[in-house]
Structures are given as structure tokens and as C-alpha cells.
Amino acid sequence: MRCNVNKEISVTVDRRSMMSDKTVEIVEVSPRDGIQNEKCILKMDAKLSLVQHAIAAGARRIEVTSFVNPKKVPQMADAEELAAALPRGQARYIGLALNRRGFDRAVAAKLDEVNFAVVLSQTFSHRNQGMSTEDGIALWHDVARAAEGQIGAGLTLAAAFGCPFEGEMPVERMMAVLEKALEVMPAELTLADTIGVAAPSDILERVGAVKARWPDLPIRLHLHNTRNTGFANAWAGLQAGVRSFDASLGGVGGCPFAPRATGNIATEDLAYMLERAAYKTGWDIERAAEAACWLEAELGHEVPGMVMKAGIFPPASKPGISAA
């Protein structure tokens, strides 16, 4: 497979305006969640190339970095440098924050959006952010109010389907935490299957519960394919009315603070499934697969994506992806 690495990119950003029921947004997370658990630390030029590859393939929102302690997540140590070098006007850029300092850094870096995480379980919250869930909620209220007029602010509920330390997270627990957290509303709520434990029935139940309580709140799903249910869960999300999903080129990803939290659903595989089912994603699947191959070479090991190996169907009419 060949990768297209030096193509000129000229796009006009459309921020999810009036998406039809058959239009689905894929938010690219490989520059952040995709590489944060990798032993190989990508250099700045490689990270910028990854962002450019994603834009060339169709990404319009990209989670590019996280503003966290570089001693704990060394892969994200260059967050400010990366933000300063991003090609502006080609996509909306998101940064992850876990505390007020991280939020302030994201604002100073002039990203378009900040994604703030609250963890559903107490144990994982302490492991991930060094605070209780209740303290995380209070911090969310603080940064959400501070974000007004400065930066778009979304909320991610991490471990929304299960915790690596406490096990099952009852839906009643999820709703109780959200009742408190959503006293200050986010621009968007992301339900994260951080360790990839959900089944489609869990997606239907929890998305349905949130939609019944807050029908006008945009919902995004962050799904991991740890136990090979990620794409079935994405399909269940579609049936529940979700139209925005996180994914990572090549299916790379994982959490440094959660045991065995392996890869995200692969962007090119998700785009293939959706386009095959007559949904519109705006992604060029061939280019996404080429980008996944490029990322695989940069990381130096095989990545989980499947379309990058099998090719699209019907077979590609131009060189770049083998139909064999």
C-alpha cells in the first residue's frame, strides 16, 4: 500500500451545521488518544504530518493533544509547541484537559475546543486525575463557566460503561453523576467506553437514558474495540440517534491509567461501514487507509485497522490500496 504524504490541502471547515439524519461526524483522535499509550514517542514533524494526513482524508474535528503532566504522559509533553504549529483554518482542534491548569493551557494555546473529563468511578478518577468524581464535577463547573466567550467546552464522562478497578457501573450511577455535572451544560456530552467493555444493549440503554432526560444535548460516543464490540456499539449508537463518533486512524489507542485499555475503533473501518450503509461521513476511505499505513510505519508495529489491510470494496480504481 502506498501512502499519499505530500498533497496540497485546501478545505473549508463546516462545524456540524444542520447535519442530516444520514450524515455522521467522525472526530479523529489519533494525535491524542491514539498515540498517548505508545512506547514510541512521535516527533513534532510526525505529529504534524499525522494531523495533515487526517485533514487530507476528511477530518474536520481533530483531538490533537492533551494538556496533562508530561511526566505521567510523556507523549503529550509538546502540547503547546504542537498547538502553535497547527495549520489553522483547516479543521477544528480539540485539546483534552483533566484539571484547571490543563484548561488554562488549552485556552492559552488558542485551540478551538477543550474537552474536559469527569470519571464515573471513584477509583479510576483518583488514578486518572488524582481527585474524586465529585471534585471532578466541581472542576467541570469551574472550567465550563470560564470557557464562556473563550473556547468551546465539551464534557466527557469517562468509564461510562465500566471501570477497570470497580467493575460494573450501574446506569443509575451514571445518571446521578450526570445530574450533578450537567447543572452546567456542555456544548456536547461524550460517553466514553474507556476500556471497551460495552455491548450494543449498553449503548442503547445509556444513550436512551441521556436522551430521555436531556433531549437537546448533542451526544458523541468514544468507543474502544478492546473486546471486538466497538463497531457493533457504533451501529447501536446510530440506532439510538448518535451522529458523532470518536475514532483513530489504524485503530491505535489506549489509556496509560487503565489496564488493557487497547485501541479505539479505526477511523477508516468506521467510515467504510457507514458509507457502505449509505451514511455520509465526508471521509475519503482510501486516503484514510493510506494514512493508517503511514502511521503504522511511524509507530514501528502492526496496528489493528482492517480496511488498510483488506482494501475497500468494490476494489479501488486507483493505485494505493490493494484489493487482494
Side-chain-side CA neighbours of residue 149 (13 Å): 2
3-state secondary structure of 168: coil
Grid coordinates of 49: 504530518
Dihedral sign of CA atoms 317, 319, 320, 324 in order: positive
Contact yes or no for 306/266 (Cβ under 8 A): yes
With CA atoms as reference, report the closest residue to 7 among 39, 42, 38, 52: 52
With CA atoms as reference, report the closest residue to 51 among 279, 298, 303: 298
3 is catalytic: no
Give the integer Cα–Cα distance in Å for 74 and 13: 31
For residue 19, the model assigns a pLDDT of: 53
Q: Please give the chain's pLDDT, 324 residues, in tens.
A: 434 333 333 333 343 443 568 999 999 999 999 999 898 999 999 999 999 999 999 999 999 999 999 998 999 999 999 999 999 999 999 999 999 999 999 999 999 999 999 999 999 999 989 999 999 999 999 999 999 999 999 999 999 999 999 999 999 999 999 999 999 999 999 999 999 999 999 999 999 999 999 999 999 999 999 999 999 999 999 999 999 999 999 999 987 777 777 889 999 999 999 999 999 999 999 999 999 999 999 999 999 999 999 999 998 655 444 444
Which structural domains are found in the chain, ordered by start? 25-310 (3.20.20.70)
The catalytically annotated residue of 3, 40, 163, 255 is: 255
CA angle 122, 125, 130 (to 5 degrees): 120
Q: 69's torsion region: left (phi>0), alpha (psi -120 to 50) or beta?
A: beta
Give the integer Cα–Cα distance in Å for 28 and 42: 17
Contact yes or no for 267/30 (Cβ under 8 A): yes
List of long-range contacts for 82-88, beta carbons under 8 Å, 24+ apart: 82/31, 82/44, 82/47, 82/48, 83/109, 83/110, 83/111, 84/109, 85/44, 85/48, 86/48, 86/51, 87/9, 87/51, 87/52, 87/55
Give the integer Cα–Cα distance in Å for 296 and 121: 33
Contact yes or no for 64/91 (Cβ under 8 A): no
Cα–Cα distance list, 72 to 80, 130, 187, 192, 255 (Å): 16, 12, 28, 21, 11
Grid coordinates of 13: 471547515
